[in-house]
Each structure stands twice: as structure tokens, then as C-alpha cells.
Structure 1
């Protein structure tokens, strides 16, 4: 008998900083996660496709499979909300566009069980992005090179039966200026959320998964960061009026690896998948 794949139902799933099209992206890990859930809403909170570092010579099948999986989820009824980030900022000119179950926005506000949630990527608060974009892009290439080196290190460690090691995370956590930047980022965003009466503020950008109440004399908010799929492999989930951080390394479910129908995916199949989504939405409109 074929193995039954029971998916977890969640109200909202949030992923960010996938960086499809770069060597650092762990697309197979993300596919494992997406195949394990059945969300009502899937919020893609920026930097999903890395247009900054896009190279047509490098876009593996596993990266295409992620795109097809998202398309399939939309055709099956999941609402897909793509919030633009800095690495996919070219999509900002399409903000406000909706095709069936897929919409592109720059920010999002949702009412969740009587509470207000504010979603955005977070790069608008990054001084290096605003004032020296070329420097930020250069840093992005350096980060990509570091992740390639890190993969080689982890391959060697796994062969020896040892735990994986994150070079970039170690560097970030050991450099005082980086720690201060992250702390300032979290505080500025949270204070602005409190000032505007948001109960939750949800972002990405800094690749640091976190869930923490931040309070000042004017009130408090729950700061949430979905992390990334380059080094942390994390997502946010909202269900039963509560948020949680999903961590692939701790929470992964072995049966959910890759759907059989996407094993041999290529560009033609991807185009066919997009066409199916469009046809499905057209039929739905005709019925209504």
C-alpha cells in the first residue's frame, strides 16, 4: 500500500529569506517542510527568489520544485501572499497584483482573533540598504561565498558523524557590531509596532529567527522573525491563537521529503504547473 502522508493543518505559515538561485539555499529542506503542512495562508516574507545574485547558469531542479510546490498549494486552495524584500525588490513594481490565490504586496496587516498583525520584510529599516545599496549587494556575494565554504565544512563533519556548524552564524554572534545591529533592528521595529497599536510584528531580513515580547512605557508587542532557509531552516506558524517557530533541524518529519510528481521537474513542467494554476482560477471565475 502507498504510504499515507498526513499533513499538519495550520492557519498561517510564514517563510522568508529562501534565496532561491543561490548556492546557500537549502531548497530540499524547504520542500520537506512545505510537503508536511496544509496552511490556509502561506506568507512569503521577502527574499524568496534572489534576483540580486540571479545567474541563469545556476538554478537547480530543487529550486524549481519549490516554485512548483507553491503553485500547487495555490491551486489546491492555499492563499499565497508574497511580500517583497530587498533581494527581490524588482517585484515591488507589481505590488497590488493578484492572480487567483497569489498576491504580491509590500506589507500586510491582518486581524488574527481580535489582534492586529503587521507583516513586512524589514529591509526598509536597514541603513546599509538605503544609503549604500552597492555595498549591501557586495556583502551579499561575500555571504554567498561563505555559505558555499560552509557546505563543504558540513559535508566533512557529517561524514565524520559530527554536528553541522554555521560559520556565518558564529561570525554574526561574535562580532559586537553585528549583535548591536540585530538588537537595534528588533527594537526599532517593535517600538514602531507598539506606537501604531500592532499586537504582532512579523519580519525577516536579518536571518535571525526569534519570538519575544518587547515592551516599553507605551505598551508591548510580540516581535516575530521567521529566520531563513540558508542556515537556520525556520518558519513561523500561527494556529489555535498562538505563534510558534518551526525549526527544521528539530521538528522535521521524515516521511515528508519530496512529492513523487516533482522528482523529474524541469522548466517545461514548471510552465505547465503555472498554466494549470491559471486554468483553475479561470474555471473558478466562470463558476462564480
Structure 2
């Protein structure tokens, strides 16, 4: 299979080591691309719920694939998240082409991109970790049950159904939390004069332009590989939200061309020069 060349790929919330992880689908996606830079934006290995008795070959193959990327010249940034927070003791260290960081600022064609996982905005993670861990365990089993239900639906020719998405959409606090998360991330990015703010954590893939009186920023969330099976791709000054489809593994959708917007004068972005 011919591999697509991509300048930058961002994936997050893979949760290797859990029942809900779609490692086979992720491996298929990674095998279809040749990225110059790969950002693993947190919760790649789920250390919170790690079990010695459960780490399938497909999960190990994903790790091998990432190491293979690095060995062949891809720059790999591993951004720590809450489920792999144990790696934060190794922050700002690197081995070959692999770097472990808590946050990152990149220069993308003269524009500044601010990258971090996003759990810093989560009060439950910061102050009540046992509640967050319990919730994570419950979420994992909910996804496992959901996969069984969807297998049955597929056999009967019916479309898949997402329990967690239904819960998120019906619970006001969940909807409010996602909105608050996006508002906080974009407000801070505008204050800091970043053109892009790239997060994960909330399992809600999105590309959203946010404009305020102090400026504008593009909010990007890479989603996850538990429910949404999404990634962010940046190539030739364009952002794309990739959604995996087993019947069409390389879809073109959600293209976002920043320069085109500037040319049409839809937004007036204030650039702050190159990285300090």
C-alpha cells in the first residue's frame, strides 16, 4: 500500500492496555502514512488501568510501529497525559528522535502551535484522582459493552450506537464541561498569541476557529482511538480531521486552510513572529 506523506500527525487518547482501545484500526492507519513529525498527545498507554494479563499483540505492534517511525527519521513527541502521568518524571528528556514533554510549541509555516494534553483543566484529575480513576474504569467497561452491542447490531445490518456519546449529549454537565474546556483552551491561546491550540483529553474531535476582541486562534482536538478513531493531520498549510473508516481507510474530510481564510479576510489573525 502506498503511504501518504504528511508533515504532522497528532493522535491522542489511544489507551493501550484497555479493552476499549482500537489498536488494530490505529495500526492500519499508522501503516498508511509517512509522517515527518508525530505528536502523541497524551494517554497513549493507559498506566492507570494497566493489567499484566491484558496487553494484546496489536497493542504491542502499535508501540513497535511508533519506534519504527522514530528509527526511520520521524520526529516523535510524546506529550504526557493524566493516564500516563507516571512518565512526567521523565519530562524534557529524549532518546534519539523521541522526546517526552508536558507541553510543546511548534512553528508551522510561520504560525505558532501550542500543544498539550488538556488534563490541567480537569479539576477531578487534579484534586480527586481516585474519582477520576474510578470513572476511567467504568468508562472502559462501558466501551467494552458497547462494542459487544455494536457487533450484534452489525450482524443484523443496523448502524452502530454509542452509549457514551448519548450520555454526553444528554447530561448537561458533560456538555457544559466540553464547552468550558474549549473556551478555556482558546482564551489562553489568544492571550498568549498562539495561532493554534492542540489538545486531547476529552475524546471530542474538533476543529474550531475562535475569535475574541484580543485576537483569534484555531482550536484543534485530536479526539481518541476508543470511540471516534480520529487524528489531526497538517500538510501544505492545511489541517484535516481524519476519521478512520475500515471501508475507506484514507478519507479526505474536514479540510481547514488557514491561508484561504486569510485571503478571503474571514478572520484577522495577529501573528507574533517566530518562536522565542
* TM-score higher than 0.5: yes
What's the CA shift for 1:130? 1.0
Name the structure 2 match of 1:166: 162
Say which of 191, 194, 211 aligns to 2:187: 191
Cα offset, 1:252, TM superposition: 1.1
Distance 1:69 1:159 in 2: 32
1:120 aligns with 2:134: no
Q: Give the corresponding residue for 1:74.
A: 70
Q: Distance in 2 between matches of 1:202 and 1:251?
A: 26
Aligned residues: 250
Alpha-carbon offset, residue 170 of structure 1: 1.2
- Structure 2-normalised TM-score? 0.89
Counterpart among 27, 37, 40 of residue 41 in structure 1:
37
Q: Whole-Å Cα distance in 2 between the matches of residues 253 and 120 of structure 1?
A: 26
CA distance in 1, matches of 2:81, 2:11: 12
What is the CA distance between 1:251 and its match in structure 2? 5.0
Deviation at 1:131, TM superposition (A): 1.6
**1:169, CA displacement in angstroms?**
1.1
Unaligned runs of 5+ in 2: 252-276
Question: Unaligned regions of 5+ residues in structure 1, if any?
Answer: 255-288
Give distance in 2, aligned partners of 1:111 and 1:144.
36
Task: Looking at secondary structure, tell me which structure has more helix per residue.
Answer: 1
Q: Which residue is equivalent to 2:24?
A: 28
TM-score of the superposition, structure 1-length normalised?
0.85
Higher relative contact order (CA 8 A, sep 6+): 1
- Rounded Cα–Cα distance in structure 2 between residues aligned with 1:18 and 1:95: 20
1:84 counterpart = 2:80: yes
Separation in structure 1 between the aligned mates of residue 151 and residue 240 of structure 2, nearest angstrom = 30
Q: Residue 208 of structure 1: CA displacement?
A: 0.1
Query: Is 1:139 matched with 2:135?
Result: yes
> Cα RMSD over matched residues?
1.1
Give the ranges of 4+ consecutive aligned residues of structure 1 lying more than 4 Å apart after TM superposition. Answer: none
